[in-house]
Structure 1
Amino acid sequence: MRSCLLNICRLLCVCLALPFRLLKALGLRATYKRCFPRLAYTMTFKYNAKMHSKKKELFRNVCTFADSHGTLRLLEIGCGGGANFQFYPYGCTVLCADPNPHYETFLQRSMRANKHLTYEAFLVVPAEDMKEVQDESVDVVVCTLVLCSVRDVKMVLQEVRRVLKTGGAFFFLEHVMSSTSAWTHFLQHTLEPLWFYIGDGCTVTRATWKDVESAGFSQVHIQHLEAPVTAVMRPHIMGYCIK
């Protein structure tokens, strides 16, 4: 009975997503991609307010991965509008990467508001193929709310390991598929077809922790938590891995 209800509700969401699928087929999806960064930038402030203590906890030991000269070069993939800048340590050099070039305006706003950092560049590249970043050239890689919308999580994690120096760390904070709440699990699988288009490729049914655990890092530290956000995105993982 529950499975039948899920299929009916999911079919309804598939129907509601048809206008978005039509826009994509007509090549008009680019208009939404141009507008989405403004929406995401606005939502960032609300998310950061709710997750401030968790982000402080996550990034509290980033500085320990600086090199022998005390220099810390950090690559943030899917940087968006710079939501994490305030949590990075003083003097950190930040290299930003995002496939959507329309984030740059909002990224510059965050740069002006966080003068304790040094900004190296903004690369318009997908996380699956960051060829502009040399092998073993960064001390830390960060991604938050990114792995839900990349094309291939495993490829992204391979790229993360490639660009990290040996002993470097990968920090992450991601919403994931629910493994404990039947209601949230039902909601995620029902809304996924529509949520994918509204969220610019966001997929709410990924068991991302499994990909992180099997990516080949020497150490993996993962914490599962329930974030104080909308139910469909409530299950989160956060932590760090060491190459």
Structure 2
Amino acid sequence: MTTTTLPDADAPQFTPHPVRGRFNAAFFGGMGWLIHWHLRRHKAVAFADLPASVVELGAGTGANLRYLPTGARLIAVEPNPHMHPRLRRAAQRRGVDLEIRDVVGERIDLPDASVDAVISSLVLCSVSDPAAVVAEVRRILRPSGRFSFAEHVVARRRTPTRWAQRLLRRPWAWVFEGCSCERDLASVIESAGFASVELQRYRIHSAFLPFNTHIAGTAVS
């Protein structure tokens, strides 16, 4: 697979916000238990039997450390520095060897075909270019490597959830640092050129209506 390198001037950037960055670190740190309760069954399937070394996109405050095997090594692609202290403490509690890369998902600083597994959850909604991020995932995965994901996605047209997503898209994106509830991430992953993709669409029932439509699954390179 040919590696495409963007010129530095064109590379997506992440600029930490002093207020929203801290808010999101506190929000996901404090609300992690509730998000886990809603997503736990589908994450347990998607993130089952992970290898001892994993790359995670947007590792945040460490919500997915519970799915890693004992003594695992995690390379965390996490550009928000306000997440790092909570992530480090969570990794220490769970005995995970943590390495943080504060780069964006569109420019992962790892070699081609160098990792066996990449995971993400609630991340592709907020990146600048989800297709470019998934292309980077394919680039760094070894042949037969796996990309496992659990993401929230756009709802079906002409449904109350879809109307709520459209109505709240601007304040939602501002508060959650660019997060969009209107992305068809299933199509992005299915059209990325993986050898196989298995995913399930499902719905949760939370007070955050725009957040209630999801996909989870695994793509194999």
Task: Quickly name the TM-score band, shorter chain normalised.
Answer: 0.7 to 0.9
**1:126 positional shift:** 0.4
Amino acid at match of 2:97: T
Q: Which AA in structure 2 matches 1:172? A: F
Deviations 1:100-145 (A, max 9, x none): 1111110012112211x333x11101001112x1111111000000
Query: Is contact 2:16–2:81 with CA below 8 Å preserved after alignment?
Result: no
Structure 1: gaps spanning 5 or more residues: 1-26, 64-71
Residue number among 203, 206, 214 corresponding to 1:226 in the alignment: 203
**TM-score between both structures, scaled by the size of structure 2:** 0.88
Amino acid at match of 2:18: A
Match of 2:100, SS state, is strand
Q: CA deviation at 1:51?
A: 2.1
Residue equivalent to 2:6? none
Larger Rg: 1
Residue 72 (structure 2) aligned to one of 92, 111, 132: 92
3-state SS in 1 of match to 2:168: helix
For the residues of structure 2 that align with 1:233 and 1:166, how far apart are their CA atoms?
33
Bigger helix fraction: 1
Asked if 1 retains the 8 angstrom alpha-carbon contact of 2:42 and 2:150, the reply is no
Aligned pair 1:125/2:133, yes or no?
no
Which residue of 2 is the match for residue 215 of structure 1?
A: 192
86, 101, 105: which one aligns with 2:81: 101
Q: Distance in 2 between matches of 1:96 and 1:164?
A: 15
Cα distance change, pair 28–103 in 1 and its aligned pair in 2 (3 A): closer
Q: Where has structure 1 moved over 6 Å in runs of 4 or more?
A: none
- Aligned CA RMSD, in angstroms, stands at 1.8
> 1:212 aligns to what SS in structure 2?
helix
Question: Equivalent residue for 2:140?
Answer: 163
Q: What CA distance in whole angstroms lies between the structure 2 residues aligned with 1:98 and 1:126? A: 7
- Kindly indicate whether residue 17 of structure 2 is the aligned counterpart of residue 37 of structure 1: no
- Report whether the alignment pairs 1:112 with 2:92: yes
Deviation at 1:181, TM superposition (A): 6.2
Unaligned runs of 5+ in 2: 1-14
1:201 aligned residue (178, 194, 209): 178
Using structure 1 for the length normalisation, give the TM-score.
0.80
